[in-house]
Structure 1
Amino acid sequence: MAHKSHRQKALQAQLEAQPTLSLVSQKSKKPTPAKVVEQSMDIDDDDVVISNSTPATAEASTSASGAASGSGFAPLPQSQSNGVLKGEFRRIPIPPHRMTPLKKEWVNLYTPMVDMLGLQVRMNTQRRAVEIKTSGHTVDSGAIQKGADFVKAFSLGFDVNDALALLRLDDLYLDSFEIKDVKTLHGDHLSRAIGRIAGEGGKVKFSIENASRTRIVLADTHIHILGSVQNIKIARDAIVSLILGSPPGKVYAHLKMVGARMKQRF
């Protein structure tokens, strides 16, 4: 019995010692971790708020962008999708010697620009210029540039039907240069160079146009070429060789060879 009572006392002492140790440990832990726990709770709350806000913003951005492109920008509204500037305006000056042909061919000039491009066109006789402006009927973003090139081609001396190709095709351009850009000539030498380019009755000029599929205008010492980039280069090379003194027969042979190559290519 004495043994059992001693064992019971030992167990009772252990049971009484455990709560006292736990209380001491809790009291010892209370001063410092209280603030730490509060700070950790604050941080956790902030983290929860941030994590809750980021998906919302992501969903909002995705919903706002809709069918956004890979760059991340939102698509343009329907009103700006065509890219036409409604207030765009151009003024093309007309040389004095082309004002009379402009008045004669005015109906043939403004009709295709209004019908095909939807532009507003008027002739300003005081400024000696043609003014072009976009309107609500303008659909193509490059319409005003095409109209300006069309009027400029006519002012340089091209026929209306030839200049009209600038409105119908996209790969036609104007190239202008002077004889002095190739070689400095004066007096009779300059006159003979112009005669070699034109030929008798304009035969050389017509043969260059037919071989290179371009249109050429000789305005004194200025030369204007209308056509595609490749064709303009062929015509310009032929004219440069004539300016430098090559005989027309040699230029004809070179143009025939180039024309045969062009037919094989296409």
Structure 2
Amino acid sequence: MVVNNSQPESSAAGSTARKNRRKITRQSQRPMTAPPRNVDEDQEMHDIETPAPITDQQSGFDEGDDELIIDVDPMQPTSAPGFPALTANAGKTRLKSETRRIAIPPHRMTPLKKDWINIFGPLTEILKLQVRMNVQRKCVEARTSKETVDIGALQKGADFVKAYALGFDVNDAIALLRLDDLYLDSFEIKDVKTLHGDHLSRAIGRIAGQDGKTKFTIENASRTRIVLADTKIHIMGSFQNIKVARDAIVSLILGSPPGKVYAGLRTVSSRMRQRAL
């Protein structure tokens, strides 16, 4: 057997191979029979393998059908995964034991001891916390227990004790445990305007008023609670009400007369009533 490596013969062999391939693809749609072969073609195509004839079963065609029939294996049914039944306490989230320590000022330790029963009760009954008073460190320690369900119970308890430490009454501070939209806001007089000596004393007097009249008026008009501790002012209420009370106090610090502040509070309170209706 002799193989010629000349360029013309190789091109002729390639063109002949492409012709034979076209013939094979065309004949696959009909019952396959052995194609006639010439002696010259056998000599030129000695290095090309002729594919075996494709039967009707392999090609997937019948004699009278022109469409391609594809056999697809039906999907095997998958079994559903089995999970164990949930327990009765599965819906309750168990919290990790967390501890919070709230510092108490020295001048509030004596009132804390007197009102400890009123402070201890809401923390244990409403929030299900474990609370104790550390006299040596002058603080109140609280931690979560197995009965604690609320995630924010520890934070609410800390805000409640902190509000009492700032000077709020126990009954007012309990509102922090029962309502979700109450906050604490604190600022100093020097944050608004730097005052010294008698000017600072007069500003504090304007905020408090005679026998606390001005402070009570601001509280009732804005529905907040205000604690005036020397130069520090603490306000408890909703976000919008805190803003109303803070604006009135800032006006008094800057020197506005109480009568003008009262007029502004009446206007604001009337608007709040209309919105409530």
3-state SS of 1:102 partner = helix
Is residue 274 of structure 2 the alignment partner of residue 254 of structure 1? no
CA shift at 1:81, angstroms? 5.8
Is residue 144 of structure 2 the alignment partner of residue 134 of structure 1? yes
Which structure 1 segments of 5+ residues have no match?
1-14, 32-51, 66-76
Is residue 220 of structure 2 the alignment partner of residue 210 of structure 1? yes
The one of 17, 22, 29 aligned to 2:49: 29
Instruction: Provide the C-alpha distance between the structure 1 equivalents of 2:230 and 2:236, rounded to a whole number of angstroms.
Output: 17
Is residue 153 of structure 2 the alignment partner of residue 143 of structure 1? yes
CA shift at 1:126, angstroms? 1.1
**Partner of residue 196, structure 2:** 186
3-state SS of 1:117 partner = coil
Instruction: Provide the C-alpha distance between the structure 1 equivalents of 2:116 and 2:46, rounded to a whole number of angstroms.
Output: 102
Instruction: Provide the C-alpha distance between the structure 2 equivalents of 1:16 and 1:105, rounded to a whole number of angstroms.
Output: 110
**Partner of residue 231, structure 2:** 221
Instruction: Provide the C-alpha distance between the structure 2 equivalents of 1:106 and 1:166, rounded to a whole number of angstroms.
Output: 17
Greater helix share, 1 or 2? Answer: 1
| Higher CA-based Rg | 2
**Do 1:133 and 1:144's aligned partners in 2 also have CA atoms closer than 8 Å?**
yes
**Partner of residue 128, structure 2:** 118
**Do 1:82 and 1:141's aligned partners in 2 also have CA atoms closer than 8 Å?**
no
**Do 1:90 and 1:144's aligned partners in 2 also have CA atoms closer than 8 Å?**
yes
Report the TM-score, using the length of structure 1 for normalisation. Answer: 0.72
Structure 1 counterpart of 2:219, one-letter code: E
**Do 1:82 and 1:140's aligned partners in 2 also have CA atoms closer than 8 Å?**
no
**Do 2:94 and 2:146's aligned partners in 1 also have CA atoms closer than 8 Å?**
no
Q: How many residues align?
A: 214
Which structure 2 segments of 5+ residues have no match?
1-32, 52-74
**Partner of residue 255, structure 2:** 245
Superposition RMSD in Å: 3.2
Deviations 1:36-75 (A, max 9, x none): xxxxxxxxxxxxxxxx9xx98xx99xx599xxxxxxxxxx
- 1:83–1:245 CA distance, 2 compared to 1 (3 A): farther
Report the TM-score, using the length of structure 2 for normalisation. Answer: 0.70
Instruction: Provide the C-alpha distance between the structure 1 equivalents of 2:265 and 2:34, rounded to a whole number of angstroms.
Output: 118
